[in-house]
Structure 1
Amino acid sequence: MPKRLTDEELSELKNWLAEQQINPNKLHRECSDAVLVANLLKKLYPKLIDLHNYPPRNNTQLKLENWETLNFKALGKIGLQQTKSTMQELAKGTPGAIESLLYDIKIHDRNARKVQRSEEHEEAWSQNDDVIVVNINKKIGDAIVQVPQKMVLYSIYEQTLRDSQGKESYLSAANQKIAHLENILKLKSERIDELCAQLAKLSVRSLLKQNNLENSAPNSPINVENFENESNKF
């Protein structure tokens, strides 16, 4: 009997199938001849699949032949070998059979990707000449075992630490300089405002003097005090 998936696993499977551009509806009918699964495995493990080995089938017995071929050439090689009875259920489109297989393929793909990322990380470490591997004693349960540990020379650590401290000092000095320049700009702005206010007062007084000289008629006096008061508003 195929493994019955939980609602959470079914939801995960649907999301994964959507990522693989596979419609999760009507899986029993569309997957019964193994063609859709073969196409999926072609994307995940291209070297294992020759699609011409999996022609579309309508007869249950021919569908079973496709599954047997896929089981021998691909599923068995990735550790997902199916039993005879399971392949018969897949060929018949028995509910739950294809979902269980696809979920197993999903889990296998996820684990394979984790292993690949780990190997890439290990390769990057191994290509670094500054890294050495030493065996250290580690207690596991009641036993003491030797575990390989990647390490760098202390001189390299010291140099890296000095470089980091140097960068921090540079950033601190730069921040202080920025704060000093901002303060200078603020003082200059305040001085410019002050000079503009003084210039406005001088301009008003100059106009007052000019009006006093030009306006000699006794019937048109100018109240200088009020005029200066108005100028102080600038």
Structure 2
Amino acid sequence: MDQVLNEEQLQDLYAWIDKIPLSRPKRHITRDFSDGVMAAEVVKHFFPKLVELHNYSPASSTQQKISNWSTLNRKVFSKLNFHVAEETVKRIVLSTPGVIEPVLCALRDKIDKKLERRNKNRQKEYNKKQVSLKCSSKSRLQGAIDPVIMSPVSLLYSKPQPTLYFTSDMDPAVYQILQEKEQALMALQETVEILQMKVSRLEHLVYLKDMRIADLTRHLETYKAKVP
């Protein structure tokens, strides 16, 4: 975090910060982030459950600013595998020029990595659910239903659904829309899974009824053959 950012990197960082809705407008980044509150807001934007903003009070006193950064290190940054050294915190609190930018750049990298891991984990979890669902359906139908006669509806529901991916440089409005879409998608996926299970059960019941009808028909024919 002691790296010196070039002009292009700085402008890219400032553009990233500008996309995040913060409680205060960015006027002078060195002073704006000195008390740690806006740093907490940055993380909360991407991981709402990770940050409790009431733990961070806007401050002008050095002691309270250091306290905010210490709380961030302990309660938030540790979950991102990130840490701001004590000496760096002191320089940030004193609004030392050129100190906060490398810290925010490193924080951005950690946020991106956590978002990437979360996206991968969600994809893996979804894939596991799909495999489990298919195996469960197959075991229930094995030996009872010929795959050739499986209904198109069942095949339709077995198609995988796309997973939404988030990145830290998304426009806030787009990010919010994608979060809402993801929640709606997850709800629809659960509905699809339930419907798929119901379709499988109905197909099995239809097969059993066909078998029962065929059995009764054979008995009837046997009975007729015995009657003079």
TM-score by length of 2: 0.52
Residue 103 of structure 1: CA displacement? 1.0
Equivalent in 111, 114, 117 of residue 119 of structure 2: 117
SS at match of 1:104: helix
Please list the CA deviations of residues 109-138 of structure 1 after superposition, one character each: whole Å capped at 9, or x if unmatched: 222222222222222322333989xxxxxx
Ranked by relative contact order (alpha carbons within 8 Å, sequence separation 6 or more), the top structure is 2
Residue 91 of structure 1: CA displacement? 0.6
Counterparts in 2 of 1:30-41, with a 5 A limit? 30-41=32-43
Structure with bigger gyration radius:
1
**Equivalents in 2 of 1:88, 1:121: separation in Å?**
41
Flag the 1:118–1:48 CA change in 2: closer, same or farther, 3 A: closer
Equivalent in 66, 69, 88 of residue 67 of structure 1: 69
Flag the 1:73–1:128 CA change in 2: closer, same or farther, 3 A: closer
Partner of 1:103: 105
More strand by share: 1
Segments of 5+ residues of structure 2 without an aligned counterpart are 136-146, 148-228
Partner of 1:21: 21
**Equivalents in 2 of 1:80, 1:44: separation in Å?**
15
Segments of 5+ residues of structure 1 without an aligned counterpart are 133-154, 156-234
Residue 37 of structure 1: CA displacement? 1.0
SS at match of 2:4: coil
**Number of paired residues?**
135
Contact 1:14 1:24 in 2 (8 A): no
Partner of 1:10: 10
Once the two structures are overlaid, the 10-residue window that deviates more, 30-39 or 9-18, is: 9-18
Letter in 2 for 1:59: S
Letter in 1 for 2:54: H
**Equivalents in 1 of 2:127, 2:71: separation in Å?**
40
**Equivalents in 2 of 1:33, 1:67: separation in Å?**
7
Partner of 1:90: 92
Contact 1:35 1:56 in 2 (8 A): yes
Flag the 1:121–1:57 CA change in 2: closer, same or farther, 3 A: same
Contact 2:30 2:100 in 1 (8 A): yes
Partner of 1:81: 83
Please list the CA deviations of residues 91-115 of structure 1 after superposition, one character each: whole Å capped at 9, or x if unmatched: 1111122111111121112222222
TM-score by length of 1: 0.51
Identity of aligned residues (%): 29
Letter in 1 for 2:9: E
